[in-house]
Structure 1
Amino acid sequence: MSSLANKIALVIGGVGGIGGAISQRFASEGAHVYATSRKGGDSTSKAGTTGSIRVIQADASENADRKRVFEHIASERGRIDVLVINAGLSEYAPLENIAEDHFDRTFDLNVRSLVFAAQGAIDLMRHGGTIVLIGSIAGDIGTKGYGVYGASKAAIRSFARTFANELAPRGIRVNVVSPGPTDTAMMASASREVRDALSSMVPLGRMARPDEVAAAALFLASDESSFTTGAELAVDGGMAQV
């Protein structure tokens, strides 16, 4: 039996890259996925499964857009079983170049929107619901030029612990997937030198594939992790672990 059969999943930032891989994997496991994207996209049904992906154009950082998404799902399905929050941004700025708009833009999308997306979703979640937050090993290591990004990801890890504690009485689990360097389209635009340098820092000798991050998200979203909450699962090839 598919591990997410007939589950209603919302993947915020669920088109392209890691989020797109999560949406596709969840649908292949029988979930009815609502995937948000600022640019929109094509809704699909997975051949050979009962799962589907419905794309909703929405800006994760806009309260009105988030509210519209929740209202849409409530009217069509009446509930959310799985919430994944993946939307985020990463911009280079060493300490001497950090500007207020850079700081505000990063924390607005990576942290503020995550908090209020989780707040809005739990009104539609029942006992047994799961929340998977997409963090980063950047929250644990000091990467030059990415201090604001790393701090925003560390905040996600902190919120996950608190949310897990607060939502446990309601039977809702909260966990974090923290990828390392991942071979997405954005990473493909980097120079060969940058890609090779990143890969050389990973004990397994390569970057992650988006589907490997999606597999970790599936584990935490499914009943296979029924006694796991408040945890962080690093998908980094050992980069920040050894």
Structure 2
Amino acid sequence: MTNKIAIVTGGNSGIGYATAKEMIANGIKVIITGRRKDAIEKAALEIGAIPFVADQASLQDIGHLYNFVKEQFSQIDILFINAGITGEGSLIENASESNFDNVININFKGAYFTLSKFVPLLNEGASVVFLSSIVAATHKANSSVYQASKAALNSIAKTAASELASRKIRVNIVSPGPTRTEVLSKSGMDEATVSGIFDNLVNIIPLKKLGIPEDVAKMVMYLSSDSASFITGSEFLIDGGFML
């Protein structure tokens, strides 16, 4: 993997951070993005990545990232579109436009246009991986917008796999189940509530444990390697059997 160039959006924490770290350990040069300058620079310093401040929800920021990467590296080999949020939980009848826009703009619109913008810079044989979620196939109350955003993402990923196959570019999806990251805390839940949710999930996961970011990172790394050269348009559940 030496001399390959990768972009990881939302790379300052959680799955993005773990994946960037795994890639760097395998000799890949990685650009990580994030919305907060202090957080992204701190993360980059810790793992040896290249930081770039960008909000995936902003098409202008995506354009700035594209210009930077094109000028500095010309081409890329791996694009991990990871950034996303859960948003606020609410019933459909109580949904707010602001929450709808926030979730869709980051999880779907931003992901879509990140891929759209970077298609010309993808080397032949490059790998694109979308971070989705098992919620794309669930229909739980109070999570309609988040679930819909991930379902839409899965649809686009499969279409992209078809469109880019002629250039030997592979597009795949990783869909984690319950994974111990900061995403619930960032949604506004207090620590006690988050711990209670995780404790309950452990009891219903067949393997009786939560996933960790490194579990997902290793799958993304595999899909980005030549070992996965015959895999495209596929979704990989990393959920300890939760969806069985």
2:204 is matched by which residue type in structure 1? M
- Residue of structure 2 in register with 1:49 after alignment: none
1:209 is matched by which residue type in structure 2? I
- Residue of structure 2 in register with 1:93 after alignment: 90
Count of aligned pairs? 233
TM-score by length of 2: 0.91
Alignment RMSD, CA only?
1.4
- Residue of structure 2 in register with 1:56 after alignment: 52
Q: Give me the whole-angstrom Cα distance separating, in 1, the residues matched to 2:194 and 2:133.
A: 21
Q: Secondary structure at the match of 1:128?
A: strand
Unaligned runs of 5+ in 1: 47-51
* Within-5 A mapping of 1:67-216: 67-91=63-87, 92-187=89-184, 189=191, 190-216=193-219
Match of 1:16 among 13, 18, 21: 13
- Residue of structure 1 in register with 2:188 after alignment: none
Deviations 1:13-49 (A, max 9, x none): 1110111111111111111000000013233375xxx
Q: Secondary structure at the match of 2:130?
A: strand
Q: Give me the whole-angstrom Cα distance separating, in 2, the residues matched to 1:105 and 1:62.
A: 11
Between Structure 1 and Structure 2, which shows a larger proportion of helix residues?
2
Match of 2:230 among 215, 227, 238: 227
Q: Percent identity?
A: 35
Q: CA deviation at 1:199?
A: 1.6
Q: Give me the whole-angstrom Cα distance separating, in 2, the residues matched to 1:29 and 1:12.
A: 18
Q: Give me the whole-angstrom Cα distance separating, in 1, the residues matched to 2:3 and 2:199.
A: 41
Deviations 1:73-125 (A, max 9, x none): 11111111100011111121122211222212211111111111001111111
TM-score by length of 1: 0.92
Q: CA deviation at 1:185?
A: 2.9
- Residue of structure 1 in register with 2:241 after alignment: 238
Q: CA deviation at 1:144?
A: 2.3
Q: CA deviation at 1:187?
A: 4.5
Q: Secondary structure at the match of 1:227?
A: coil
Is the CA contact 2:86–2:184 (under 8 Å) kept in the aligned structure 1? Answer: no
Q: Secondary structure at the match of 1:82?
A: strand
Q: CA deviation at 1:201?
A: 2.2
